[in-house]
Amino acid sequence: MKRTATILLGNPLSVLGLILVGFVVLTALLADFIAPYPDHAGAVVDFVNANKPPSAEYWLGTDVVGRDILSRIFYAYRVSLGLGIVVLSIATPIGVVVGLLAGYIGGWTDYILMRITDVFLSIPPLVLALAIMGLLEPTLLNGMIAVTAMWWPWYARLVYNIARAEKVEGYVLAAEIIGGGRMHVMFREILPNCVPAIVTKMTLDFGFVILIASSLSFLGLGVQAPTPDLGSMVSEGTRYLPDSWWLTVFPGAAILIAVFGFNLIGDVLREVLEPD
């Protein structure tokens, strides 16, 4: 842990990443205090100030009903981060269990579970999420389900490969010989060895979950108004290009900042933790 911190702080790229992620997390957490117009996250209309370009009063301009875009970006970060946490904390356990079962038990369990995983992996991720979202009602919860459905197979793959490699290691054989049950071996012996890889992947994925979720809502299948959401802000703004460019460019940049921050950290982490 201490070593990781040293590494992250020693690399200018990851420091930049930490700053960006810190910015995103802080603005999301403290949105109530630092957003210039906290009530603009909800159903507020101020038609007099609608569609105003950036100014001293509204740093990033206002949207088509007169809400401050900066404030809405802060609140949208809150939604994005929440979604990322929920998706990963559901997808990871599912993937881990599937991967462990398939990798350790092997045989038919392996074949069936991994073919199911293949099925999920062989539908382009966004298309699968779109199909699920399209058929269910477009709400935040269903958005989470859709993204989770496309995410768990990656963890299953990852853990599967590790479990298959670890299964023939001495310590696992030893645990089996002294009569450790399957559950014990899988979750107590093998799982701890998967943790570093899982953590790295989660860091890397966090950015991508935000990215995919914004893509879904860009297509009109995500968070419902008036809840602020970066993807739908971009999507609504594109109607007003090129005149009202601030409606699109700033939320787009906000996505870039958040995902880029997580990716910078993940990139450095991976280079250090998984030397290949």
Partner 1 sequence: MTRSVLLTSAAILALGLAAPPALAERILRLDEAPIGEMDPAKGTDYADTVLAINLYDTLVYPRQGGSGVQPHLATDWTIEGPVYTFSLRDDVTFNSGNPLTAEDVVFSFERMMALGQGNSGLFEGRVQGAEAVDAHTVRFTLTEPFAPFLATLVRLPVVDKATVMANIGAGDFGEFGDYASEWMSQNSAGSGPYVAESHDPQTETVLVYEPDYFLDPAENHPERVRYRYGLDASTVRALMARGEHDISSQWLPPEVFAALADEGAAHLVTEAGLTGEYFKLNTRRPPLDDVHCRRALAYAFDYDTLLQLVRINDDTTQGRPMSSALPAGLIGFDPDLPAFAQDMARAQEELAQCAHAPGDHPLEIAWIAETPARERGALMMQALYSQMGFDVSITRTPWALITEQVTDPDTAPHVIEIAVSALSPDTDSLLFNMYHSSMPPTWMSASYFVNEEFDALLEEGRTETDPDRRQDLYAEANAILKEEVPAIYGYELLGAFAVRDGVSFHNLEDPARTYPVSGFNLRFADISVPE
Partner 2 sequence: MRILTRLSIRLATTVLVLFGVSVLIFLIARIIPGDPARIALGPRASEAQVEQMRRTLHLDEPLFAQYAHFVGDLFRGDLGISLYTNRPVTTDIAQFLPATLELVILAGIMMIAIGLPLGAISARYRGRWADHVIRVLTLMTVSAPSFVWAVVLVLLFSYYTPLFPIAGRIAETITIPPVTGFMLIDTLIAGRWDGFLSALHHVFLPAFALSLSGIGQAARLTRANMIGTYEQPYIEMAQAYGFSERRIAARYAFKPSLIPSLTIIGLDFAALLGNAFLVETIFAWPGLSRYGVGVILQKDLNAIVGTVMIISATFLIANLIVDLLVSVINPRIRYAERSE
Q: Choosing among partner 2, partner 1, none, which partner's interface includes residue 33 (Cβ < 5 to 8 Å by kind)?
A: none
Nearer to partner 1, 153 or 237 (CB): 237
Kindly indicate which of the ranges 83-91, 149-157, 187-195, 221-229 contains the residues binding partner 1, using the contact rule CB under 8 A. Answer: 221-229
Report the alpha-carbon distance of residue 153 to residue 133 in Å, rounded.
18
Q: Among 106, 226, 228, which Cα is nearest to 160's?
A: 106
Q: Give the residues lining the site for partner 2 (CB under 8 A).
A: 13, 115-116, 118-120, 122-128, 130-137, 161, 207, 211-212, 214-215, 218-221, 231, 234-235, 238, 241-242, 245, 248-249, 252, 255-256, 259-260, 263-264, 267, 276
Backbone angle region of 51, left / alpha / beta, with phi > 0 → left and psi within -120 to 50 → alpha: left
Q: Choosing among partner 2, partner 1, none, which partner's interface includes residue 255 (Cβ < 5 to 8 Å by kind)?
A: partner 2
Could you tell me if 105 and 164 are in contact, meaning their C-beta atoms sit under 8 angstroms apart? no
Of 112-151, binders to partner 1 (CB under 8 A) are 137-138
Q: Choosing among partner 2, partner 1, none, which partner's interface includes residue 45 (Cβ < 5 to 8 Å by kind)?
A: partner 1
- Extract the tokens encoding 64: 């088509």
Report the alpha-carbon distance of residue 148 to residue 137 in Å, rounded.
16
- Extract the tokens encoding 107: 């045989």
Report the alpha-carbon distance of residue 210 to residue 260 in Å, rounded.
11
Q: Which residues bind partner 1 (CB under 8 A)?
A: 43-45, 47, 51, 64-65, 137-138, 220, 224-226, 236, 238-244
